[in-house]
Each structure stands twice: as C-alpha cells, then as structure tokens.
Structure 1
Amino acid sequence: MEVQITQIKNESAAAIIDLVLPIQQIEFKVAITLSDQPDLLDIDNVYYKNGGAFWGATSEGKLLGTIAMIKFSNNAVALRKMFVKKEFRGKELGLAQRLLENLIIHCKNNGIDHLYLGTVPVLQAALRFYERNGFQKMEKVDLPTQFPLMGGDSVFYQLSLK
C-alpha cells in the first residue's frame, strides 16, 4: 500500500473530523466533542497562521492518519492531533512513526528545537510510542507559559531536537 504524507488544510476538515472523533469517542471513550475542538473547523488559522502545520497520511484518497503542530514561540511547537486509524497502526506500516518523523524533519528545517505535547492517560500505546521516540515526561507546571493547553490533557511530554 502506497501512503503519501502531505500538508492538509481546511478543505480536509470533514475527513479529519471523521478520523479523529471516532478514535477519541468510540475507541478510547474520551469525553470530548467537536465543540471542544474548534481547531478542527479552522485548521488554516489555528495551525498555519503562526508557522505551524497539519499533515495527513493518505492512501487511495482516504485519510489514514494525522499529525499537527501549533507554533507558540520562535523555537517551540505543541504537537497535536496525532491519530492513526486502528487498522493502520503498528510497526508493519509504521504510519505513526512516519508522521512523527515528517513533523520532526519539518521542525529541524525550520529552526524549531522543542516539541511539547499534552495527552490523556488512557492512551497507553501513544504514551509508549512517545517515550520510545525520546519524549521525556514532564509536569504541567514546567510547561512553557505560552503552551496552548487543551482542557482534558493531564500527561505532558517534551522532546528536545537540539
């Protein structure tokens, strides 16, 4: 299966929502709705306006995974919306790894030295994935003051690219 990773914008909002919401609500039973995530309806402004980006992994026109970043200072970003459809997860395809590596290359090419993220404890496989990729767990109080917090997040990580 051939997978392309490309930047996506507002025109992909419906596909992004169709990917993300079922993973959050049905698969992981996270109490979050579309109204809790207005960024999904305004990708161009929320993600691209200050130098961030949003990528989609597609195959045969179908969205299989996403990853995004919000730039909140000259050299730091918040990693957001990292989701891969259940049937496309795992080491065989390495889709999550490819998405993350794509984002890291973009960061290094654009002078971004620090990646931060917030998530929820129920996403155990995601936590292990971040840790395998060198992310260090941190306390909420140690996040940069400009970090854009999401309401439900209670587990935080950072990765230095220096």
Structure 2
Amino acid sequence: MEDTLTIRPIFNEYCRQIIDIILPIQQIEFNVPVTLDAQPDLLDIEDFYHKGGGCFLGAFMGEELIGTIALINTGNNAGALRKMFVKKEYRGKELGVAQQLLEVLLQFCRDRQIIDVYLGTVEVLKAAHRFYERNGFVLTDIKDFPPYFPRMMADNRFYHLHLNN
C-alpha cells in the first residue's frame, strides 16, 4: 500500500516536512523571494490554521508527505486558501494530487458554510493560475477583496471562488 494517495489533516508534528516541501519550491524552483521568517505560520500550523476554524491538509503517498493545502477561516463565511504545494515529481493530472487536495479543502469549506474562498499567488506560477481558473476561481483585483483578507507581501495575483452549496 506504499503507493496509495491519502489526504488528511496535519498538525505541528509535520512542520519540518511542510517547510521542506514549500521553501525549495518557492525559493529554488520558482525564485520567489520569500523566507521562512516571512511565513511564521509554517512553524505553528495548529494555532495559525486549525485553531481559528481553518485547516491544514497533507497529501501522502504511503507515509511520505508530498503536498499541502491550507485554509485560514477569515470569518464572514469566507476563507483564504494558502500553502498549495505539491512536490515536483508528483504533479500533473496522472495522480491528480493538487486536484484532490483542492476538492477536500472545498468540501471542508462547504461543510462549514464557507462560501467565498480567496487566494493570492505570484505571477511566475503560471501552471497554478491555469489550475485555479480550471477550478472556477476568477482573477480578481486586490481592490475588490474584502479588508479581512490576509495578504502575503509576495502575492501579486489574486483569485476568488464563490461556492454554491
């Protein structure tokens, strides 16, 4: 069963593995100038995501963490999608890791009456833009985002999804 993909909530005991996935993708693969210091949420996902009614999910191939996605519950029946990353060797439609992560997260939202999902990303992540757009996210000007959206400084492209329960 080593090659079985599962998605489940993850907590602080996975912080090191989460960092080991996310930072190399941001810094090395896509040359995004963001550091761990700028992402303190990665050091305490329980307080930052779970405690406020959000979630942090991990995709596992067997026992190996291969992908992440998170949601900050911002109140107002809304949430901010964060930390959507999949290890390079597990990307693509064949395994559908990103798609499954997103589907589980959106079901989490529906179950909690979160109907608006917002996200910020960076211009260089073209494949991510296509992925979000295929999944119904609409490119939106940051000026049209609610004031409670927790913007990351590196983000320069923004999307919104309205869920129909």
Which range, TM-score by smaller chain? over 0.9
In structure 2, give the amino acid aligned to 1:39: D
- 2:26 — aligned with what? 24
- 1:138 — aligned with what? 140
- 1:98 — aligned with what? 100
- Is 1:51 the counterpart of 2:69? The answer is no
Deviation for aligned residue 1:73: 1.3
Identity %: 57
- 1:41 — aligned with what? 43
> Cα deviation per residue 1:29-84 (whole Å; 9 max; x = unaligned)?
11111101000001011101210000000122111000000011131000000000
Unaligned runs of 5+ in 1: none
- 1:120 — aligned with what? 122
Q: What TM-score results when the alignment is normalised by the length of structure 2?
A: 0.96
Backbone CA RMSD of aligned residues? 0.7
Out of 10, 15, 18, the position equivalent to 2:17 is 15
Unaligned runs of 5+ in 2: none
- 1:129 — aligned with what? 131
Q: Secondary structure at the match of 1:90?
A: coil
In structure 1, give the amino acid aligned to 2:130: R
1: distance between equivalents of 2:153 and 2:163?
Answer: 26
Q: What TM-score results when the alignment is normalised by the length of structure 1?
A: 0.98
> Cα deviation per residue 1:141-162 (whole Å; 9 max; x = unaligned)?
1111100010110100000002
Displaced runs of 4+ in structure 1, greater than 2 A? Answer: none
